A and B are shown apart, each in its own frame.
Chain A
């Protein structure tokens, strides 16, 4: 059977998938990505390239994805609704598909006020759910958002979306996932899991609605590199739920980096056991070289 991407193949074959994030540089030097690519190559099935994450200007996710392809890695290109309207978004999807990008993850995006250009005008012409639906219709029906027909080549994209099991109102969190599935998401990468209990409650509800059979869920794993990072995640990153217990562990540790690594290993081993979780998505931004060890030590190497 033909798969759109390696990631789709791994997930469809029922293997436990690993994706990992690669943050593009604040500049045009391709070697910054190529060097990271060399280190992590073979340790994940596909690699997310972020789209100006936290609203800080970086090399574009399309540019970064091309560099990965040329280095022999499969990208998951991220696209946010913050900076582009429906014309530019659909055009970028066509452009990405034309140069061999097969996985795209659609997000609403971090608000511009958090980044290094707070004076920018946020676009938000669409939200991530609307965009997901539009891309599904482009792919499966061959129509643009306006209803106009695509004339030469529907973008054959494996569609990704994000989910946050931890935000409020908690009661709506599985409804939101369902909405993303209805709009056309093939796979889901979740917000970083630190609060395993809450994640389990969410997954229980996901399974009770059989949603794990309709979409591939990859649990977000973020290794904590330092106390500063733990503090930032706990107190400043919107939507992250870090229990005090984890924060205290890092805080009281003589070697926070090692402790963060150990916690990530524990979490990976725990989420691996949760029924309905089809993989993990590792976000070790600016600590990408930790990936090989993490994957080997949790028995996820070699990749299928």
Chain B
């Protein structure tokens, strides 16, 4: 799933500057992340009201990244949208862009920061799994992706700062190379780590701007 985090309220206020606003949420990832479902959109309306920013209306797109669905649903809210000075989108970076492709005469503000493709571990606990590099090589690493999960994207890890299974960059996260090591050890295949892994082919990541 695409993991998002709502921007700090004060940052949102400084982006909005003046209302009224029309608020857009998304039925999929942002709903599951609690960053842009109905509940969050309604409570945002309340919070903005306390700061004297009115809301002309709101909608949950199904989902925000779907161009045709968005066109259909946004048409139904045309009058409310026309009254707004800012459109506030609580979806992922893609959802916000699909909206700005349709609503071209009003400023569209991304209300969320888009973080990564991640696993839902528990209700509000998400963990990074992928940064969409365009050339999936996780099979070389026991199905664990060091491109996205090692802060230095090491393909020949672990680095010299891995201590007690924790990452040197952030003690709260596991060293992903320690996890790879443990999986291989369990299988009795530690020898595989002796192979020098070649530099990554980043050419594939920029080629794939569009998939038909």
Interface residues of A (CB under 8 A from B): 81-82, 86, 108-109, 111, 113-114, 122, 124-130, 133-134, 145, 162-164, 167-169, 171-172, 175-176, 178-179, 182-183, 191, 238-239
Contact = CB atoms under 8 A, between A and B. Distances in A.
6 contacts: A130-B155, A130-B197, A175-B193, A179-B194, A182-B196, A239-B160
Interface string B6-23: 000000000000000000
Interface in B154-202: 154-165, 168-169, 175, 178, 181, 185, 190, 193-194, 196-200, 202
Contact of A168 (B155, B165, B185): B165
Contacts of B164: 168
Given A145-B199, A239-B168, A127 B163 contact: no
Interface of B: 151-165, 168-169, 175, 178, 181, 185, 190, 193-194, 196-200, 202
A133 B195 CA distance: 12
Contacts of A125: 199-200, 202
B141 to A, nearest CB: 13
Nearest to A109: B152
B206 to A, nearest CB: 13
A127 B160 contact: no
Contact of A108 (B152, B165, B194): B152
A122 B152 contact: yes
Interface SS of chain B: loop
B155 A127 contact: yes
Contacts of B161: 164, 167, 238-239
Interface centre among A114, A127, A128, A130 (most CB of B within 10 A): A127
Contacts of A114: 169
Interface centre among B160, B193, B197 (most CB of A within 10 A): B160
Given A124-B153, A130-B155, A164-B160, A183 B196 contact: yes
Contacts of A167: 158-163
Contacts of A176: 158
Contacts of B200: 125
A108 B154 contact: yes
